[in-house]
A and B are shown apart, each in its own frame.
Chain A
Amino acid sequence: MNMQSRTYRKMIVALGVVALILTAVFVSPSVSQTVPIKIGTFTPLSGHAAYYGEHIVIGAKLAIDEANEKGGLLGRKIEFITEDDKNIPAEAVTAAEKLITKDQVVALSASMGSSPVLAVMPKVNEAKVPMFVQTATSVLITQQSGKGGNPWTFKCNPNDAMMLTALAKFIVEKRGVKSVCFIGEDTDFGRGIVKGLKEWMEAHGVKVLSEDYVKGGETEFTPLLTKVKGLKPDVLGLGVVGPTQIQALVKQMLELGMKIPLTGRYDITAKQIADYIASGAMEGSTCVEPYSHLYEGGRNPQFVQMVKTKLGRDTGIYWWGVYWSYEATRVMLEAIRQGGKAERQAIRDAAVKVEMDLITGMKVKFDDNNQWHPPAFITGVKDGKIVLFGDVPT
């Protein structure tokens, strides 16, 4: 009896072990398939750049919702986690740290501003997490990424140097600009814009009359504009990004009785300056944008319509933010799909090879600096309306 009961007990233990192994083999994958793939972004959700952050989140969500509606990736849903970086470099590092270590995201899309992105780059290199840059335009990001630099950072949108040469060429050759004053934000973004325009313009005989920088978020431009008014330049080159800033600047120009065309990089589509554009106050102004909703190539008209429907409005849309966040998230998801695994290394290795069909109709692939070369768009004000002067290769 004893022998029999011992054998019986052994059989039960053996069966138990087999059952456990079978569970591990067959049940675990199905459990892991129900766990969503986590991706994240750090972007300004409060502070003076919150307006942009809101749009960046909208763009990313559009791409994620599309993928989830099609059943997700690798049989799993995608979970999107956002962290607020207030567009401040130190806050961005903390936000990225949280996403990487606590949330264990497999890939990141990067903040709105260049300074926060540059601050986080060493962190993603150290933690080996692929990061896709959507809207930050500093040339330093490109220079420090890819081969010989940070292999984990991928820059999707064109950088300032790429866009500004095209703009400088346009205003000098087509508009006959001979003198310029600059006002830029005292950030990597603002200084990058001014440097990019200034180098090309000076080399082509344009006289730079002044170059000034204001703190990010500044709304009082009167002292600087008074100086510019006295210098009488052909154009005023800008590297200020917020709608608050551009609205204040144009308003204060009018208050001082100035009518100098603007150029550079600023949000020409901001709802806050629509009235000034319509009234003719900004006639002759130009700017270069990494994206234009006015472009009619590729699937862009459908995309524009989709965004308008989603937001329920036609104006007050930060178009570059929505578009580039959408494209950066799309390439991230495509890299996960092509990598075949929701793992950081696999995603990075796949991203290097991914060839993407952009909404604007162009095919792009990351170069040695992990930089895409999509077209840039030169827009401006003509007869009280924003018009697209053309797209230029970068």
Chain B
Amino acid sequence: MFFQHLTNGVLISGIYALVATGFTLIFGVLAVVNFAHGEFYMLGAFILFCLSQQIGIPYFWSIPLCIGALLVFGVLVERSAIRPLLQKSFESMVICTFAVSMILMNGSLLIWGAEPRIIQSPLSTPVSVFGIAFTLQRLLVLVVAVAASIGLHLFLYRTKLGKAIRATAQNKDACVAVGIDIAFISKFTFALGVGLCALAGALVAPIYSVFPTMGQTAIFKVFAIVILGGLGNIQGALLASLILGIGESLIAGYVSATLKDGLAFLLMLFILLLRPGGLFGKAVRTL
């Protein structure tokens, strides 16, 4: 049973990592703690539901369409809600993203209703390897989470645009001085973060079900993960997801499921006390 628990934990960590990547990217570059992140994830799942279950587009073809739709939506939200507040206080942005979250969640409730929807994926069939059971869909989520994390790292460190994004995260004024288009970077990063959310929503949706409050369930754990890994640190988020996924699985399996959710917040508390920048993070708000 131990190896089954371990496998469960690793596979669950893939789900956590995929949802956390976009969140930590938006925070790292824009210094925006995006409370609407969970709702973008939910929206990704609902759009995929419409495309694959209602319109009838095959599941794997629906994924890029879903990401495309959310990228456009991300640009619109960035232009209308995020950019006007980028120069304002940190608190204004928190309230703004919280408002976006409420609008999206309740809007979805109005459009799709509260009934949970099911998405069928061709990879949902269970498989068993050496007595360890899992589904290929969960494995796919893990592979994509690792690939997205590595891809994003390479993009940020090896490409010109990636470097511009990192430069913007470090010093906006200096970027303006050397001619980096800050408005474009802001738009691009936000849309990329939302696109990653859509990818997460589209891949995770067949594992659970799709309902308007699914983002809320995800977001709190994502907060804990990005704090553990260090806000803005993509590799940190991946490692924190792995620690949390395996830790939770073993605690629920061998100790008590009631303590499972406590682990994320207990670790978060210790990290905030001992290493406020996270396992790999750096100080983000200095006086």
Are B209 and A226 in contact (CB-based, < 8 A)? no
Are A223 and B252 in contact (CB-based, < 8 A)? yes
Asked if B53 lies at the interface with its beta carbon under 8 angstroms from chain A, I say: no
Describe B's contact surface by its main secondary structure.
Answer: helix
Are B212 and A230 in contact (CB-based, < 8 A)? no
Are B217 and A223 in contact (CB-based, < 8 A)? no
Are B211 and A48 in contact (CB-based, < 8 A)? yes
Residues of A within 8 A of B91 (CB): none
Asked if B126 lies at the interface with its beta carbon under 8 angstroms from chain A, I say: yes
**Interface flags, B105-121, vs A, CB<8A=1, else 0:** 11001000111101000
Closest to B105 in A: A46
Question: Are A50 and B212 CB-contacts (below 8 A) given A213-B258, A257-B133?
Answer: yes
Contact residues of A between 203 and 217, Cβ < 8 Å to B: 212-215, 217
Q: Give the segment of A168-176, A242-250, A383-391 that binds chain B.
A: A242-250
Question: Are A248 and B208 CB-contacts (below 8 A) given A46-B105, A256-B133, A257-B128?
Answer: yes
Residues of B within 8 A of A46 (CB): 105-106, 109, 114, 212-213
Are A212 and B257 in contact (CB-based, < 8 A)? yes
Q: Give the segment of B4-12, B35-43, B181-189 that binds chain A.
A: B4-12
Are B211 and A224 in contact (CB-based, < 8 A)? no
Asked if B1 lies at the interface with its beta carbon under 8 angstroms from chain A, I say: yes
A341 to chain B, nearest CB (A): 37
Contact residues of B between 56 and 76, Cβ < 8 Å to A: none
Contact residues of A between 224 and 247, Cβ < 8 Å to B: 224, 226-227, 229-230, 242-244, 247
A228 to chain B, nearest CB (A): 10
Q: How far is the CA of A242 from the CA of B217 in the complex (A)?
A: 14
Question: Are A223 and B8 CB-contacts (below 8 A) given A50-B109, A256-B126?
Answer: yes
Asked if A316 lies at the interface with its beta carbon under 8 angstroms from chain B, I say: yes
B273 to chain A, nearest CB (A): 24
Residues of B within 8 A of A215 (CB): 261
Are A212 and B258 in contact (CB-based, < 8 A)? yes
Residues of A within 8 A of B105 (CB): 46
Residues of B within 8 A of A254 (CB): 126
Chain B: residues with CB nearer than 8 A to chain A?
A: 1, 4-5, 8-9, 11-12, 105-106, 109, 113-116, 118, 126, 128, 133-135, 138, 208-209, 211-214, 216-217, 248-254, 256-258, 260-261
